[in-house]
Every structure is written in structure tokens, then in C-alpha cells.
Structure 1
Amino acid sequence: MASAVRAGRRLRQAVEGSELAGLPADLRAELEAALASQGAVVPFRLLRRLRTALREAGSPLYLHQLLEGSEIDFPEVPVPPRNPELVARLERIKAKLANEEYQRMTRNITGQQTNGTLAEFGRQVRSVKAVVITIFNFIVTVVAAFACTYLGSQYVFAETAARVLSAVIVASVVGLAELYVMVRTLEGDLGKL
């Protein structure tokens, strides 16, 4: 916390000149000693005494006029020495965190090229497997719809042509519905990418 002011040119001129001649001799001597010190640092308590003395003497000078160009002196805060055990512990923690970050960044990297590796082949097989299962599911659904409609329509239609036509219509509707669901699923999957 600041407790002093570095004297500016205006305060120096006032002390060296005759502007502060009406002040008590001891206050004037303290001011001269403070200005002669290294950095010309004047403590706040001395400035308070100077203000009181200026008021009592009825001087036309005000303290803020004298302090024009002065700066507040902020003392340097001494930095305590760091504990060597703490520094060593912090270094170990930093090294551990850096190693974990490195491991996280390089966990998917192998020494081989990514083309033709077993992992890439596995991803391609899974992709093909998903497509094959989707197509098989579509075919089974359409065939099952056709078969159920063909067999169930024997109670409604006596002619085979009407039964086949109704089975084709129902299988087509089921196939279109299945295609719609597949397209929506693909859009959702592609939207997530």
C-alpha cells in the first residue's frame, strides 16, 4: 500500500524558494531532508503536517497545487523465495499432464500408413456389412408383405390375378414406406457427420 509521494518539480521549487517561508522550521527541515533523500520520497504523514501548517499560516497555496507533477510511490513487494519441494512437485505435475495430453493426441496413431491397415479394412467391412443387412432387410420385408397379402387375399378374391395384383400393390406400398424410412435414416446419419 502506498504511503509516500515522489516529489515533483512544483513541490521542489516551493521548498527551495521562499513560498514556504512561513512554515515552522522543523517541518521545513523535514521536507528538505525528504527531498534530499534518494528518489525524493515524501511520506504522507509529512504531507498532512504540511497541509495543516499551510492552513494555520493562512497561505494562499493549497496542497494539491504543491503536489502537481508528483507521483505516488508504490513500494516494491518483496517476493518470497519459492519452496524447492513445491517447485519440484509442480514440475512433476506439468510433466504428467503434458504426457497425458501427448498420449491422448497420439492414441490413434500407429507406425504404419493408414491405407491398407487392418483397422481400415475393419471399418470398410463394417460399412459393407451395414449396407448388406439394410438391403436384406428391405428384400425380406417386401417379400413377406407380398406373401402375406397373396395368402390372405384368397379369402377375398377367387381369381389368382386379383390376388397377385393386390399382393403387388401392398408390397409396393410397404417397399416405398421402407425406402422412406431408409432415406430418413441415412439423412440422420449424414446429418450427424
Structure 2
Amino acid sequence: MAVHSNFDEYSYDMLSVSRDILTHCDTALSRNTLDPSKQRKLESMRSQLNQSDQEKRVTLKYSDIKFLHSCLQESCDENKESSPHLYELMEMTSLQLPSPPSLDKSDAYVARMERLRLLAEEAEYQKMTKNISSASEPNEGIGKELKVMDSQVTFLFNFILTVVGAFVFGYKGVEYSLPTPNVSLQLTVGVTLATIVFFADVYFIIKKYV
């Protein structure tokens, strides 16, 4: 099978999970249909399996499983019986991979890991303090806006007061300066002074805020 042929390129060991492999070895040996070289090799493999099985650890290469499969096919063909498929034999094993080599931690590696740990802690601290400062910013912004609003209200009050004061000054000034009241003249002078003060205030507003 093409799926399993790639195993031949590697020295993978298999860990047996049952005694069925031994049973198949016994089956192939008991029929006496193999040539002497295969017979000896299969007997050697069975002896290895039996010893390993007693130690609760079986190690076989994929090529050994394929050899057992070919022996079973040959003996079954001679007796016109069906032999187990290769995948059925593979299901009785599990792949045993070697443990990765342990890496010695050099002084440079330890120093670098310590530096990275400190950098991570510093980044976490900056993140925490950023959240705290961000939480206090809205209160500071509200206080600043209140100060600006108070300044604007005061300026508007002064603006209205000066315009109204100029009108009253012109209106009453003319009234007190004439022997008889002249409402039209009083209004004219009051409005004129109020207009002059109004545009003067507007000029200073533009000069200050624009």
C-alpha cells in the first residue's frame, strides 16, 4: 500500500499493544511453508517479541511488520486461506517516538529570559497605569470645561452690563442736561453710546478669541 511505503525511509519503532502479533507469528511458523531463511528470521523475531512482551515493552520496525505480513500471505496462499491485511497488523502497534533532547540553559539564555520577563512586567505595569490615568482624565476635562464656561458667562455678563450702562448714561445724561425732558433726543444719544460700546466690545472679543 502506498500509504505505508513511506515508513521504509525511517527507523521508526513500534510499541505493541496486544499479544496478537505473537499469535500471527505462531500461525505463520506452524504451517511450515516458509523457506529456511524466512523461517529463521521469523523465529528470531518471535523470540524477540516474546522477551519484550514479558518486559511489557515491544519494539519492532515497520519493515518487521511488513515481513510478518508477507510471511502470513505466503503461508495462507499455500493453504488457500485469507491472510490479515497490513493495516490490521499495524492496528496492533502504536508509534513510539524518541523524546526530544533536553537543552542546557546557558547563562546568556537565562539572562535573556530574565530580561524578557522584566520587559513583560514593565509593559503590564504601563498598561495598568495607563488605565488609571485614562480614568482620571474625564474629571479633569469636566473641571476645565466648567472654568471655560464660567469665564464665558462672566464675559457675557460684563458685555451686557457695559452696553446697558452706556445706554443709561446717554439717556440720563441728556435728561439732566436739558431744562425740559426730550425723550427722542435722550433715546438717540443713549442708543448711539450703546452702539459704540457694543461694537467696541465686539472688537475686543474678536481680538481675544479669534
- Could you tell me the TM-score, scaled by structure 2's length? 0.48
Residue 64 of structure 2 is matched in structure 1 by 46
For residues 24-103 of structure 1, the aligned pairs below 5 Å read 24-35=38-49, 36-37=51-52, 39-57=57-75, 58=77, 60-62=82-84, 63-103=86-126
Q: 1:52 to 1:14 in 2, by over 3 A?
A: closer
Q: 1:28 to 1:41 in 2, by over 3 A?
A: same
Residue 17 of structure 2 is matched in structure 1 by 8
Q: How far did 1:4 drift? A: 2.3
Provide the secondary structure at the position in 2 that maps to 1:50: helix
Is the contact between residue 34 and residue 42 of structure 1 (CA under 8 Å) also seen in structure 2?
Answer: no
Q: 1:46 to 1:125 in 2, by over 3 A?
A: closer
Q: How far did 1:14 drift? A: 2.2
Q: Identify unmatched segments of 5+ residues in structure 2.
A: 1-9, 165-183, 192-210
Cα RMSD, aligned residues only? 4.3
Q: 1:49 to 1:124 in 2, by over 3 A?
A: closer
Which of these two proteins has the greater Rg computed from alpha carbons? Answer: 2
**What one-letter code is carried by the residue in structure 2 that aligns with 1:27?**
K
For residues 131 and 91 of structure 2, what CA distance do their matches in structure 1 show?
67
For residues 42 and 68 of structure 1, what CA distance do their matches in structure 2 show?
13
For residues 139 and 128 of structure 1, what CA distance do their matches in structure 2 show?
16
**What one-letter code is carried by the residue in structure 2 that aligns with 1:41?**
T
For residues 105 and 49 of structure 1, what CA distance do their matches in structure 2 show?
65
User: What is the CA deviation profile of residues 85-109 of structure 1, one whole-angstrom value per residue up to 9, with x for unaligned ones?
Assistant: 1122111221233134325534798
Is the contact between residue 17 and residue 92 of structure 2 (CA under 8 Å) also seen in structure 1?
Answer: yes
User: What is the CA deviation profile of residues 93-150 of structure 1, one whole-angstrom value per residue up to 9, with x for unaligned ones?
Assistant: 21233134325534798xxxxxxxxx9x977752431221343566689x5xx99xxx
**What one-letter code is carried by the residue in structure 1 that aligns with 2:43?**
A
Is the contact between residue 29 and residue 43 of structure 2 (CA under 8 Å) also seen in structure 1?
Answer: no
Is the contact between residue 16 and residue 94 of structure 2 (CA under 8 Å) also seen in structure 1?
Answer: yes
Q: Percent identity among equivalent residues?
A: 19
Q: How far did 1:52 drift? A: 2.8
**What one-letter code is carried by the residue in structure 1 that aligns with 2:87?**
H
Aligned residue pair count: 140
For residues 95 and 5 of structure 1, what CA distance do their matches in structure 2 show?
45
For residues 159-170 of structure 1, the aligned pairs below 5 Å read none
- Could you tell me the TM-score, scaled by structure 1's length? 0.52
Provide the secondary structure at the position in 1 that maps to 2:95: strand
Provide the secondary structure at the position in 2 that maps to 1:72: strand
For residues 88 and 109 of structure 2, what CA distance do their matches in structure 1 show?
51
Q: How far did 1:2 drift? A: 7.5
User: What is the CA deviation profile of residues 49-69 of structure 1, one whole-angstrom value per residue up to 9, with x for unaligned ones?
Assistant: 222333334262223333443
**What one-letter code is carried by the residue in structure 2 that aligns with 1:18?**
T
Q: Identify unmatched segments of 5+ residues in structure 1.
A: 110-118, 148-157, 165-193
